[in-house]
Structure 1
Amino acid sequence: MSALKGAYIYGDYDTGKIWMFRYDRQTGRVSDHRELLDSTLRLVGFAEDVDGELLLVDHMRGLIFELKENANADHKSTFPRKLSETGLFASVSEHRPADGVIPYSVSATQWTDGASKERFLALPGNSKIDFDGITYPQPAPGAPHGWKFPDGTVAVETLSLELSPGKPRRLETRILHYEQLAGGEDVGDQFWRGYTYVWNDEQTDAVLLEDPLGMDRTFTIEDESVAGGKRLQTWHFPSRTECTVCHNMAAKYVLGINTLQMNRDHQYGDVAANQMETFRHLGLFADELPKKKAIDFPKLVDYRDASRDLDLRARSYLHANCSHCHRKWGGGNGEFLLLATVDLPEMGIANVKPSHGGFSMPGGKILTPGDPFRSVLFYRAAKLGPGRMPRMGSSVVDEAGLKLLHDWIANLPTDTRVAPVTSRNDNVDARLATTSNALQLMQTLADAPSNRSLRDEVLAHVSQQPAHIRELFERFLPEEERTKRLGSVIRADTILAMDADAERGKAVFFKTSGVQCLNCHRIGKLGIEIGPDLSQIGKKYDRAKILENILLPSKEIDLKYRVHLVQTIDGRVYSGLLIKSGPGEIVLKEPTGKLVRIPSADVEDTATQQQSMMPDLLLRDLTAKQVADLIAFLSMQKGDQAK
């Protein structure tokens, strides 16, 4: 291709994306940098043929492809731009599925800012599901098997929000489309594409969202519990890239269509029946299920049902909302498991010190049995801003879910040597003086939503408190009075055009709760060196490149900072940065900074990950000004001590 002569070409194994850039040796800068194509290839190498044309080596199919110019590049794709063009609905305006599209429901629904959901599954032709047919990646502690779907499967989810009581408005329909790749499941033969269709105001159709950053829209909601009877809520419509963060390989891609979630009754018109038994009756499984009734299979419970066991409810809640990341290889930086299939002692949270900051909570653990106010897990679910969980997919605190976590933690067997937080001081400033007491005061407000005088008094005092305290109470403010954070739609050019203060950026780097840059990076003698040392980052990159590296941490990863997996002959798997690989041992550095030494004789296999240890959308809970200040501070680091 003559158009690419002199250009550097590179690609990504996980996404199949291929980029090009040109380097101007005279200016020492990149003069052109763009994405060429988004393919389904699992790229492992490039080559040239005898004519100098570029060849692509695909690991999955075991084939070599030639890169050619698309003669139809200017032609619009035939991919359906409207929901009505997908064939999934007999009537889109009535939201009535087409024949063969199967409605389903889940036991424990994921919290999505108060939205209700309708779900459907479409299998192509007479194809069938391989029950519990996905076992990789294994061994992974507690990870349940997944259902293996036929090529062309489509999973559908429509989300609606009540803008006035009893009147839901459809916001979006999310679609996951499965394309099976060649090769075995041990190398990841699944390719799921996510799409978002945004419903029009007339509720007659939905249009494909094509903005790579997604989209935000603010709605007015009638709510008698707030002053004036109305409140604002900003809804984020996810981009295709965001879909893959939760729908990842470790979580078996499809989060809701599996044994744990599907083993429940669904209302089919006038008849309620167990979904797994119904699927069996319809012949949707490739093989007969094990000889037992559906009731004997494992399952989650509806955590909203107060009649169910408290422990089962809380564990189901954590599984549905957190476990797609917080499992082995799920992408969560915390080294613990929030799967319902793992017993509490093996989850790695009870009485365990948090590795990513304790938010000034003396004696705080990830989970302190018997004491939610010394539990960082509870704190993160209660707050807005940096460090909030879940990190994606929600910007509104789940009040009922938070109360469930509070009650569960409070009722766990406790170490009686540690007295629980029980401050009842009537002085508001005194109750805001520590994170634990502030958490307790926050819970008091949540338990008494009609006590507006107490709420107003607390909010009047909290504005002068440190950020980690203020952010606990921010949800009690109207949305228009809250801190305006970046969210998932981050425009780099807007940030780079802002006036910035490097001194304030220094505070963001070293002191901002939830971001915790210094937990992985060192500047001068400060911080921990797990990721790259940033003492000379300003000499190496300009402001735009520094920001790009933070926004897209997996786009370019230095070889020595790639995550390595090591599997031993007894089935254990370790992950971390490769510190040493010699004839006697392999040494990995885990995200916590701990060194793991593995005798070479015990190693069965090794692999290198394409995903950065640094999480995506790390900046979403900062303001644009904070990010601009941070970039200004980093751009000044040119070899001296932290400036």
Structure 2
Amino acid sequence: MIRKIGLLSLLFVLLSACSNDDADQLIAACDAPTDVTATAISHHSITITWAANDTSSSYRVEYGLSGFTVGNGTALITSNTTVLIDQLEPNTSYNVYVQNLCDTDNESLRTALYNLSTTAAPVIPEFKPQLSELNLFLGPLNSLSISPQAIPYELSTPLFTDYAHKQRLIALPAGTTMAFNGDGLPIFPDQTVIAKTFFYNNDERDLSLGQHIIETRILIKINGTWQTGNYIWNEEQTDATLDSEGSTLPVSWIDLEGTSQTANYKIPSNTDCFTCHANANTVKPIGPKLRSLNFDIDGTNQLEQWISNQQLSGVSSSASVRSLPKWDNTSVSLEERARAYMDINCAHCHIPGGHCEDLSTLNLAYETPLEDSDIVEQAFLIDYRMSFYLDGISMPLIGTSMQHTKGVDLIQSYLNTLD
């Protein structure tokens, strides 16, 4: 108690000793800025603005990665109530605060730390030397984490490629949409990028054991024309290099039954890509036909999602689009499943204008009536060309090195029902 009284007395004496001139120099701290907002957010910069609530000669803006220690960030001094923060990393969270510097000996409290994030870098619609330069993925490339600037998609019945898994995505230029054009391919705007990455899980029973990524095939629409390119992944799985030559790569994996499997995976050349993707000498995508996209994924219809997100225009409901059935959905008729399988695996060549137009009378597009498809007349030949694997003779002609046994069983079962 005696000590407390002594301290209070000492403080009283010191205050009493201050002259009026000294008291005038004890200026209250100036007010902190308010209404801090972020505008013009891009993948590499953010503009910060605020309201000044006190006379100020300048302001301090400090920023750093989210969670940075105040005082250890990057500081900017400005006399304006707005500042551009640039040279930032894309798709990254930052903290920022603003402080009034009223004079050399007087500054306000700091504003609260504001959390801000840059956008993902725009997808580059060019065939750069390395896949990473296209900005299709976030973080480590081999995570295959799709950029929010791109749209992942799946097909109801996919193309068979030696049991490889595939990740598919479409990247549209900012402010554009795909346009409805019937059940087939939508109309894609120029600078659209379509990518398909092929990989094998090391062990299908345990996905935590990783994957082996083989290639990423790219289509880019440039001045109204689709161009093809192929990126081959390096052994380190850190990036992929543009390659037009094609090659064969031995791959191995363990299937769901625990059996070791191998394949001599064929990476296509640019000539191979043209063979399958060309129709009447014009390159086109094969997979993303609207009828192949019109189905539910995790309870949500894929096309409805695109329409809702304004990524597909010219159609108000998925009900306006035919649905290509899943080839292995046994609740659908055998004929529908077999025709769907032939549509995605064979029809890019066996249609008018396709690579095999002058070599075969078959028209295997799903919408072609059976009596116009020549399937009945060519049933024996179809069965023969699919019943074994011999390079250059077996069907499909390009992109496989083995039979798809379940697919062959499906087609043979269907052919056996035909007169």
Q: What TM-score bracket applies, with the shorter chain setting the length? A: 0.5 to 0.7
SS at 1:218 equivalent: strand
Structure 1 letter corresponding to 2:310? G
SS in 2 for 1:411: coil
SS of corresponding position for 1:324: coil
1:475-524 per-residue CA deviation (whole Å, 9 max, x = no partner) reads xxxxxxxxxxxxxxxxxxxxxxxxxxxxxxxxxxxxxxxxxxxxxxxxxx
Identity %: 28
Q: Which has the larger radius of gyration?
A: 2
SS class of match (2:285): coil
Alignment equivalent of 1:326, drawn from 350, 353, 366:
350
Name the TM-score, length of structure 1 as normaliser.
Answer: 0.42
- How far apart, CA to CA, are the structure 2 residues paired with 1:195 and 1:298? 31
C-alpha change, 1:107 and 1:223, in structure 2 (3 Å) is closer
- Relative to 1, partners in 2 of residues 1:274 and 1:230: Cα closer, same or farther, differing over 3 Å? closer
Q: CA deviation at 1:295?
A: 3.3
1:234 equivalenced with 2:264 (yes/no): yes
1:261 to 271, 276, 292: 292
**Is 1:243 the counterpart of 2:253 in the alignment?**
no
* Counterpart AA for 1:376: L
**Residue of 190, 194, 208 corresponding to 2:242:** 208
Q: Is the 8 A contact 1:196 1:209 kept in 2?
A: yes
Contact 2:294 2:321 in 1 (8 A): yes
Whole-Å separation in 2 of the counterparts to 1:206 and 1:253: 23
CA distance in 2, matches of 1:349, 1:223: 34
Written as runs of structure 1 = structure 2, the 5 A alignment for 1:328-407 is 328-332=352-356, 333-350=359-376, 352=377, 366-367=378-379, 375-385=380-390, 386-407=392-413
1:52-77 CA distance string (max 9 Å, x none) = xxxxxxxxxxxxxxxxxxxxxxxxxx
Out of 194, 209, 219, the residue aligned to residue 251 of structure 2 is: 219
Deviation at 1:162, TM superposition (A): 3.3
Identify the residue that residue 176 of structure 1 maps to in structure 2: 219
SS of corresponding position for 2:186: strand
**1:305 equivalent among 325, 329, 333:** 329
- Give 1:137-176 correspondences, 5 Å limit: 145-166=184-205, 167=207, 168-176=211-219
1:277 to 280, 297, 304: 304
The answer to whether the 8 A contact 2:226-2:283 is kept is no
CA contact (8 A) 1:326 1:336 kept: yes
Residue 109 (structure 1) aligns with: 158
| Residue identity matched to 2:272 | E
| Structure 1 residue 165: Cα displacement | 3.1
Which residue number in structure 2 is paired with residue 83 of structure 1? 131
Task: Say whether the 8 Å CA contact 2:278–2:354 is kept in structure 1.
Answer: yes
Q: Deviation of residue 146 (structure 1)?
A: 2.8
1:200-227 Cα distance to aligned partner (Å, 9 max, x none): 33333222224x3x1111123346989x
- The one-letter code matched in structure 2 to 1:381 is M
- Whether 1:411 aligns to 2:417 is yes
**Per-residue displacement from partner, 1:162-217 (whole Å, max 9, x unpaired)?**
3433344221111111112xxxxxxxxx421111112233333222224x3x1111
Report SS of the residue matched to 1:338.
coil
Contact 1:221-1:233 at 8 Å conserved across structures: no
5 Å matches for 1:494-573? Answer: none
Q: Note closer, same or farther for the CA distance 1:285–1:224 as it changes in structure 2 (3 Å cut).
A: closer
- Find out whether 1:126 has 2:175 as its counterpart: yes
SS of equivalent to 2:350:
coil
Could you list the runs of 5+ residues in structure 1 that have no partner in the other structure? 1-77, 134-143, 181-189, 353-365, 368-374, 415-643
1:146–1:252: 8 Å Cα contact kept in structure 2?
Answer: no
CA 1:223–1:258 in structure 2 vs 1: closer, same or farther (change >3 Å)?
closer
Query: C-alpha distance in 2, partners of 1:280/1:147?
Result: 12
CA distance in 2, matches of 1:222, 1:317: 25
State how many pairs are aligned: 285
1:337 is displaced (CA, Å) by 0.4
Tell me the distance in 1 between the aligned counterparts of 2:155 and 2:254: 28
More strand by share: 2
Tell me if the contact between 2:291 and 2:322 (Cα under 8 Å) persists in the aligned partners.
yes
1:199 to 233, 237, 245: 233
Superposed CA deviations along residues 31-83 of structure 1, whole A, max 9, x for unmatched, are xxxxxxxxxxxxxxxxxxxxxxxxxxxxxxxxxxxxxxxxxxxxxxx952222
Deviations 1:230-283 (A, max 9, x none): 45311111122221211123597111222211111234xxxx321211111111
- Tell me how far apart the structure 2 counterparts of residues 128 and 249 of structure 1 sit (CA, whole Å): 24
Q: Distance in 1 between matches of 2:257 and 2:229?
A: 35
User: Post-superposition shift, 1:322?
Assistant: 0.5
TM-score by length of 2: 0.63
Q: What is the CA RMSD across the aligned residues, in angstroms?
A: 2.3
Query: Alignment partner of 2:271: what SS?
Result: helix
> Are 1:315 and 2:339 counterparts?
yes
Gaps of 5+ in 2: 1-125
Contact preservation (8 Å) 2:225, 2:283? no
> Where do 1:50-69 residues align within 5 Å?
none
One-letter amino acid of the counterpart of residue 409, structure 1 = L
1:308 Cα deviation from its structure 2 partner: 2.1
Alpha-carbon separation, structure 2, partners of 1:231 and 1:257: 29
Cα gap change, 1:314 to 1:79, in 2 (>3 Å)? closer
Is the 1:193–1:240 Cα contact (8 Å) retained in structure 2?
no
Give 1:145 deviation, angstroms.
4.4
Say if 1:204 and 1:296 are closer, same or farther in 2 by CA, change over 3 A.
same
Instruction: Give the AA of the match of 2:226.
Output: W
Q: Which amino acid aligns with 1:401?
A: G
Instruction: State the SS of the aligned residue for 1:164.
Output: coil
1:104/1:266 contact within 8 Å kept: no
Residues 515-547 of structure 1 show CA distances to partners (whole Å, capped at 9, x for unaligned) of: xxxxxxxxxxxxxxxxxxxxxxxxxxxxxxxxx
Hey, what's the Cα distance between the residues in 2 that align with 1:220 and 1:111? 17
Higher helix residue share: 1
With CA pairs under 8 Å and 6+ residues apart, which has the higher RCO, 1 or 2? 2
1:133-179 CA deviation, whole Å, 9 max, x = no partner? 7xxxxxxxxxx643111110000111112343334422111111111
